[in-house]
């Protein structure tokens, strides 16, 4: 099978080249993201391989079907960028990588927490400038703090396991309770209770119509004053404008995000010589208690190896007509 590979970065090629020309599968790498404007690049290919900011809307899927593409392999877990109704209508098979490395994302959430709290990023820059002052670098102990976890799938469960090493007070909210998480001693509570009692809240749920803007003006008003909010899941879980207001008012004490609602126009590219046109991200960057990373939570050697391995197997299973639990359907 010939696969058109979109939104390619150097680290993608490093790991996928292992499978190039194996068992009849070949990859053609494109740096462009997939959308209705770039579909023509997939002409002559059997399938496409895409990432989080590629657009698989109805128009794109219809054009893919018209040029004979029957397979879309996502090299990520989330599939909120795919119109599943259109995929079914145009007989396009969608596969994902549901659990490439829950630990990678969970550990990155911890990194955001520790960096925001102990201000190691600021200390690093100070020392490089010869400034060894400790003024304004005060943090707090994580021990005995209440940690709230929204979403307790594989990543959320991994995050809970990590945080048990810091505190025994963990609260969780999920429509579907995870027995593994309960066995750790994590208490499931209502969303309202979690928001009101947590000192730190970490988001680990998928983006669906139900969870879009889960954190908005209403939920932000319920937070304990000075609460830390961490998001390594999907940007649109947080209403950015409302979060900015909560930061200005001091209600939200810290914000650490590895995802952003409008990230497709910013992340995964070097804009250091450009004027950033997004006023909201510019405002967030200006806050001293906000830490932003550019969707790097997945970026570990182990995760990239697993993504390549599972994606390749998804292609082989489709090619062989085998059932595969990674297939996404409406």
Catalytic residue among 234, 261, 264, 306: 234
* Spatial CA neighbour of 106 closest among 3, 216, 230, 196: 230
- Non-local (6+) Cβ contacts of 181 within 8 A are 152, 156, 157, 160, 172, 188
Contacts for 174-178 with beta carbons within 8 Å, 24 or more apart?
174/150, 174/205, 177/152, 178/152, 178/153
Rounded to 5 degrees, what are φ and ψ at 99? -150, 65
120-128 and 102-118 helices, crossing angle to 10°: 60
Q: Is 249 a catalytic residue?
A: no
Residue 8 is classified by DSSP as -
* Torsion of Cα atoms, 170 then 176 then 179 then 181, to 10°: -20
The token pair that represents 313 in the structure block: 């197997």
**CA-based torsion, 17, 72, 30, 299: positive or negative:** negative
Catalytic residue among 261, 263, 264, 306: 263
Q: Is 295 a catalytic residue?
A: yes
Query: How far separated are the first and last CA of the chain, in Å rounded?
Result: 25
Catalytic residue among 75, 108, 204, 295: 295
Q: Is 263 a catalytic residue?
A: yes
State the catalytic residues. 234, 263, 295
């Amino acid at each position: 099978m010939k696969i058109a590979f979109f939104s390619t970065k150097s680290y993608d090629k490093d790991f996928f080249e292992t499978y190039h020309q194996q068992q009849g599968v070949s990859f053609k790498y494109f740096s462009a993201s997939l959308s209705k404007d770039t579909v023509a690049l997939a002409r002559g290919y059997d399938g496409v391989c895409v990432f989080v900011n590629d657009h698989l809307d109805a128009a794109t899927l219809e054009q893919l079907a018209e040029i004979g593409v029957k397979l879309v392999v996502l090299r990520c877990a989330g599939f909120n960028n795919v119109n599943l109704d259109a995929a079914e209508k145009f007989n396009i098979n969608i596969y994902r990588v549901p659990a490439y490395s829950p630990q990678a994302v969970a550990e990155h959430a911890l990194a955001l927490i520790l960096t925001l709290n102990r201000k190691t990023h600021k200390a690093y820059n100070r020392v490089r400038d010869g400034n060894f002052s400790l003024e304004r670098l005060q943090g707090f102990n994580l021990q005995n703090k209440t940690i709230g976890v929204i979403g307790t799938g594989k990543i959320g469960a991994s995050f809970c396991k990590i945080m048990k090493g810091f505190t025994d007070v963990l609260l969780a909210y999920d429509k579907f309770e995870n027995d593994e998480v309960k066995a750790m001693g994590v208490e499931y509570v209502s969303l309202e209770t979690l928001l009101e009692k947590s000192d730190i809240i970490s988001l680990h749920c998928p983006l669906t119509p139900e969870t879009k803007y889960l954190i908005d003006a209403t939920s932000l008003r319920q937070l304990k004053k000075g609460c830390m909010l961490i998001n390594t899941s999907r940007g649109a879980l947080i209403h950015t404008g409302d979060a900015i207001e909560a930061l200005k008012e001091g209600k939200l004490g810290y914000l650490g995000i590895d995802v952003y609602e409008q990230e497709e126009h910013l992340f995964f590219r070097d804009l250091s010589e450009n004027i950033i046109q997004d006023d909201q991200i510019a405002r967030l960057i200006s806050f001293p208690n906000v830490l932003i990373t550019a969707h790097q939570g997945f970026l570990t050697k182990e995760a990239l190896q697993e993504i390549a391995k599972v994606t390749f197997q998804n292609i082989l299973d489709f090619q062989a007509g085998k059932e595969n639990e990674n297939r996404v359907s409406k």
